[in-house]
């Protein structure tokens, strides 16, 4: 799950800030307690001394180290009991002044060996959603808030079903795709239909659910994506070119790429080459992709090179969106 470097950096900074804030709260409480009950401060100093004595006894040469360790341990336990009584007398648990990590698995380091701990993964997911929200409205976009009542139950001409019946199937596929990401039989989706029918909304739902499950997700429009590929090629070692190289690496390596509005870009030989590189590289690496477009699959086959059309038609599951413009319906209901 290769999170974007900026997402991971911000998550690590949050983890460090949370750890620092927790330590500062504990220290403030310790000073307040010491001021209220000075005997606790003296006890803590003695306990620290017995811990040092325990280490020294264990390393002592000659004599009976086992007896020495036992004696120091008994003294430490006696002091700990006295400390617990004093803390209880002022209404605090015995571990109130201990610096306990929020995550017992990694001790708030964010890592368990070379593996990212779940606490850091959760922060990465939160930061990733913030990143996605810059381009994709994730405010209220979720599968729970998706409304089928905007879609007519009247059979749609030439479709053999109603927009409502069709969207029930589309919704189920998208929900299963997101919640069973990486385990669902369908690997890639091609959302096709006129504007205002819910393609972007369901893309946002997928992005949120997959991201919250700990996978790296990148969303961008076709125009922005191809512009980054162009900058990578023609600007090369310039600052913009280096940034574009990092961006295209994100597009190629994330667990899920959502490419929005394919077909809105100016189609040139270069954009065809960039699209082929993007689609083919992700298929070869077995990484998932969701594409939304106003183009139908036959129209995409006419617009793009045969090797692109072949991959889109052969490797992407098509979901059709049809009916009345939801944006206009929502506006008219206000």
pLDDT in tens, the chain (334 residues): 567 777 888 888 889 998 889 888 888 988 998 898 888 888 888 877 776 665 565 555 555 566 666 777 777 788 888 888 888 888 888 888 888 888 888 888 888 888 888 888 888 888 877 777 766 666 667 898 888 988 999 999 888 899 999 999 999 999 999 999 999 999 999 999 998 899 988 998 999 899 888 888 988 899 989 998 988 887 777 777 777 888 888 899 899 999 999 998 888 999 999 999 999 999 999 999 999 999 999 999 999 999 999 999 999 999 999 998 887 777 666 5
Instruction: Answer yes or no: do 214 and 269 share one domain.
Output: yes
Instruction: Answer yes or no: do 102 and 145 share one domain.
Output: no
> 111, 145, 170: which is the final residue of a domain?
111
Q: How far apart are the first and last CA of the chain?
A: 42
Instruction: Answer yes or no: do 84 and 172 share one domain.
Output: no
> 111, 145, 165: which is the final residue of a domain?
111
Instruction: Answer yes or no: do 73 and 154 share one domain.
Output: no
Which range of residues forms the domain containing residue 82? Answer: 21-111
Instruction: Answer yes or no: do 186 and 49 share one domain.
Output: no
Instruction: Answer yes or no: do 181 and 254 share one domain.
Output: yes
The enclosing domain of 203 has a CATH number of 3.40.50.300
Instruction: Answer yes or no: do 209 and 304 share one domain.
Output: yes
CA-to-CA distance for 272 and 309, rounded, in angstroms?
11
Instruction: Answer yes or no: do 183 and 297 share one domain.
Output: yes
**266 lies in a domain?**
yes
> 111, 144, 159: which is the final residue of a domain?
111
**3 lies in a domain?**
no
> For the CA atoms of 142, 148, 149, 153, what is the dihedral angle to 10 degrees?
170
Write out the two tokens for 94. Answer: 């015995």
Separation in Å, CA 115 to CA 14, 106, 119, 210:
18, 10, 12, 20
**123 lies in a domain?**
no
Instruction: Answer yes or no: do 105 and 243 share one domain.
Output: no
Helices (H) and strands (E) counted in the chain, each on its own, are 12, 7
Instruction: Look up the pTM and report it.
Output: 0.72
**121 lies in a domain?**
no
Helix (H, G, I), strand (E, B) or coil at 206: helix
């Amino acid at each position: 799950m290769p999170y974007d470097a900026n997402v991971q950096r911000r998550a690590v900074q949050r983890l460090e800030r949370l750890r620092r804030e927790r330590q500062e709260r504990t220290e403030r409480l310790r000073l307040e307690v010491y001021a209220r009950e000075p005997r606790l401060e003296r006890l803590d100093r003695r306990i620290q001394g017995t811990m040092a004595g325990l280490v020294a006894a264990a390393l002592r040469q000659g004599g009976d180290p086992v007896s020495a360790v036992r004696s120091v341990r008994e003294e430490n336990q006696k002091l700990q009991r006295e400390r617990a009584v004093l803390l209880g007398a002022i209404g605090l648990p015995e571990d109130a002044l201990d610096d306990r990590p929020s995550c017992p698995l990694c001790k708030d380091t964010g890592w368990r060996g070379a593996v990212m701990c779940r606490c850091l993964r959760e922060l990465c997911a939160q930061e990733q959603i913030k990143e996605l929200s810059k381009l994709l409205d994730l405010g209220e976009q979720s599968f729970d808030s998706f409304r089928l009542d905007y879609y007519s139950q009247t059979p749609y001409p030439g479709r053999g079903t109603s927009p409502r019946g069709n969207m029930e199937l589309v919704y189920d596929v998208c929900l299963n795709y997101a919640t069973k990401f990486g385990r669902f039989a369908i690997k890639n989706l091609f959302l096709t239909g006129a504007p205002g029918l819910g393609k972007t909304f369901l893309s946002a739902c997928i992005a949120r659910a997959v991201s919250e499950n700990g996978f790296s997700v990148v969303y961008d429009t076709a125009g922005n994506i191809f512009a980054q590929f162009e900058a990578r090629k023609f600007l090369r070692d310039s600052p913009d070119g280096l940034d574009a190289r990092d961006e295209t690496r994100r597009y190629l390596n994330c667990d899920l790429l959502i490419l929005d509005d394919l077909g809105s870009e100016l189609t040139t030989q270069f954009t065809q080459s960039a699209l082929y590189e993007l689609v083919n590289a992700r298929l070869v690496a077995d990484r998932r992709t969701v594409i939304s477009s106003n183009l139908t699959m036959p129209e995409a086959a006419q617009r793009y090179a045969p090797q692109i059309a072949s991959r889109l038609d052969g490797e992407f599951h098509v979901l059709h969106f049809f009916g009345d413009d939801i944006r206009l319906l929502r506006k008219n209901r206000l």
